[in-house]
Structure 1
Amino acid sequence: MFLLDASLAQSIVDRAMQILRTNVNVMDERGLIIASGDRARIGSRHEGALLVLAQGRAVEVDAAVAQRLHDTRPGINLPLRAEGRVVGVVGLSGEPDAVRQQAELVRLAAETMLEQAQWMQMLARDQRLREELVLQLIGVSPPGAGLDDWASRLGVDLARPCVALLIEIADASLAADAVLAAQQRLRRLLAEQEPGLACAPVTLRELAVLMPLPAAESDLRSRLQALHGRLGGEGSGQPCLALGGRFGGDDGLARSWQSARATLQAGRRHRPQAAIHCYDELTLPVLLAGLGEGWRADELRRPLRRLAQQDRDGQLRCTLAAWFAHDMKAAPSAGALHVHRNTLEYRLRRIGEITGLDLARLNDCLLLFIGLELDVAENREIPQ
């Protein structure tokens, strides 16, 4: 239900009195003056407004009538309507014949402002509901009853395949107020440039977006790049994007959000300079990141621990990481390490000798790869 508050009422008074030479009052549903050009009158009861509220029509008060009413001055008082009911009264001081036409114009302008305020309240309410819907869909808030009907009323098509997109304000040096300003900027840009996207703030630095899936995977990557370009712009709070995987079932979006967060962590480890990370491009590192505890993890790390005992400067681990990063291809691996191909082959032989594994066998390569991934997931830096 729409309520006329003092801030909006004072805006009505201030605008009217920029043009008029008479005092303007605005009264609420109880007949109390909540805004006035004469600030001393704010908070007092206006008997002329009480007559308007009781009768639902304009009430003119001339000098004779004003003498019979308590603390009332000559003027015209008119009802203000919103949502089909009287929500307040606007009054102009002065002899009725002199201010009658002006009073009607002020009433029309005031009701236009009420309609605008009502519309903004509805938009704000719908935005809050859409945000809460997003939080429920991604599993951050507990799901409520009638989620499908709720989504339909808000224009969110749950039948359309979507994945969760995490937009993070990555600059750790920003103070809290600067982060908040950056988040508000991102939300405004999303609303202006991607009005169909449902999004919600999850933390001060994180926004969750429900990203509809296009027909072609390449189109999704292109759209992410275009979105990042539009959200970047100038100033602080440059965003980092992490796209989750597509999962079916009622909890599909919740799992997609979890994978988006894991993708962001994996992307930071593997591609620290990149601003866009996709689950489909980092699937194995994301899934392996969950194997970091227990006796199985100890066994997976054992070859790397054996290597570390004889690799004090980390050169062999760095070589192994570069080799895996370049799909175990010699030429690009050697180029990335700035060494001769023979040097690369020598180092790989040493890795095999120390660990007791044969790098020509897939299973042995997988043991080394997984062990290295688990170490990286624990933020054990690979020497450069």
Structure 2
Amino acid sequence: MKSNNFTPTLAQYIVEKTMKIIEHNVNVMNGEGKIIGSGDLDRIGQLHEGAMLAISQKRVVTIDSPTAKKLKGVKPGVNFPLKLNDEIVGVIGITGEPTKITQFAQLVCMSAEMMMEQAQLLNQLSQDNRLKEEFILSVIQSENTVVDVTEWSRKLNIDLSLPYVVVIIEVDSGQLGIQTAMSELQYIQNEIINITKNNLVAIKSLTEIVMLMPALNKFNRWDLARHKQKLEQLVSHIKSSSKFLVRISLGNYFHQNKDRIVRSYQTAKTALLVGKQRMPQCRNFYYQELILPVLLDSLNQDWQAEELLSPLKKLQLEDSNGVLQKTLSTWFCHNLQYNKTAEALFIHRNTLEYRLNKIAALTGFNLAKFDDRVLLYIALQLNK
């Protein structure tokens, strides 16, 4: 912490804390000798000649009543240089007769330096956290080079050789203002860090927190069930301690790709979007349970999707009550097994065969052919 980081806020905090202990006025001066904190608020902004002397001569300066009368803006007292990392960053002055207050002043000076050290540590931690956040947000983007990321991770003591999987935590701030929403997000972020320990967490926007989780368990295996258990516990904890409703999406684990974190984020993001469309009441989404619709999602805006949906649209034109579409979906859900499909629909097997033949006629597909079945199944997935 250099002198320009020794803020008036910190100086006034030191004044208020120390004046609760002693019955004398306390002044705190910056590295130029200007009063930036004082029990006498009228003196803030004034130059203190005693402090300037203490800084220039790097020593304790005591000023008795006769001396004080000769100096500008100075009252009797003791002025101790404040040091941090062996550098004088300011001066603390105690008003009163030096013979009576010197011992108090020594204790006050020690307390002030301890407060500055604590503030420096907190500031450093805050800076480290911000850098880690920037790092996390950087590695989920595709434009970074391996060299840049590797060098950055080394400086932050983050081991990128460890396999990570990305989790997105989407928050619904509702009608909260920006300041309140940001405060709540930071609270959630701190809670996640405290609970999960080894995870890297960053706020990406007012609605999204990104988390990098160690992908493998203690046996060096990918365990989806264990990840689901952890995330469900996390959602439950956030729900009980925050004003926000949250959704969580777990991406895929890519163990050999150089862009594995980028891809994991992309799969988590798409799983969240697809999951909300298909299951709006659900709060937890997992790529591994939505693989096909996630992989097909990129086709939605392209001409390929129109081609794939074309047979299904023909069916819909002749199926106003949706019976044939429900039959087709149920047939696929039961792995093309006729008896189980008929039981699920509460119809006779012959009725099922009649409906499937009608579907084939309307779509132009031969349901006995594997490729035609696949094309119809994909069309149903794109149509959801």
TM-score (structure 1 length as normaliser): 0.89
1:341 Cα deviation from its structure 2 partner: 3.9
> Which residue is equivalent to 1:351?
359
Question: How is 1:45-194 mapped onto 2 (pairs within 5 angstroms)?
Answer: 45-139=47-141, 142=144, 146-169=148-171, 171=172, 173-177=174-178, 179-194=181-196
Q: Is the 8 A contact 2:77 2:97 kept in 1?
A: yes
| Cα displacement string for residues 90-125 of structure 1 (whole angstroms, at most 9, x for unaligned residues) | 101000011111111111111111011000000001
In angstroms, what is the RMSD of aligned CA positions?
Answer: 2.4
Q: Is the 8 A contact 1:331 1:341 kept in 2?
A: no
Q: Is the 8 A contact 1:164 1:209 kept in 2?
A: yes
1:33 to 35, 40, 60: 35
| Cα displacement string for residues 177-231 of structure 1 (whole angstroms, at most 9, x for unaligned residues) | 4543432221021121123211212221111111111224233233222333333
Q: Is the 8 A contact 2:193 2:200 kept in 1?
A: no
Structure 2, unaligned runs of 5 or more? none
| Partner Cα distance (2:214, 2:372) in 1 | 40
Q: Which amino acid is 2:36 matched to?
A: I
| Partner Cα distance (1:324, 1:52) in 2 | 85
Q: Which amino acid is 1:81 matched to?
A: K
| Partner Cα distance (2:238, 2:306) in 1 | 43
| Partner Cα distance (2:285, 2:232) in 1 | 10
1:200 to 186, 199, 202: 202
Identity rate of aligned residues, in percent? 36
> Which residue is equivalent to 2:288?
280
| Partner Cα distance (1:123, 1:320) in 2 | 58
> Which residue is equivalent to 2:277?
269
Q: Which moved more, 1:57-66 or 1:310-319?
A: 310-319
Matched, 1:226 2:233: yes
Matched, 1:257 2:271: no
Q: Which amino acid is 1:86 matched to?
A: I
1:6 Cα deviation from its structure 2 partner: 0.4
Matched, 1:342 2:348: yes
| Partner Cα distance (1:224, 1:332) in 2 | 34
> Which residue is equivalent to 1:246?
253
> Which residue is equivalent to 1:382?
none
1:29 Cα deviation from its structure 2 partner: 0.4
Partner of 1:156, secondary structure, is coil
Q: Which moved more, 1:124-133 or 1:272-281?
A: 272-281
1:311 to 319, 330, 346: 319
Q: Which amino acid is 2:346 matched to?
A: H
| Partner Cα distance (1:31, 1:5) in 2 | 13
Q: Is the 8 A contact 2:164 2:212 kept in 1?
A: yes
Q: Is the 8 A contact 1:186 1:231 kept in 2?
A: yes
TM-score (structure 2 length as normaliser): 0.89
| Partner Cα distance (1:168, 1:207) in 2 | 6
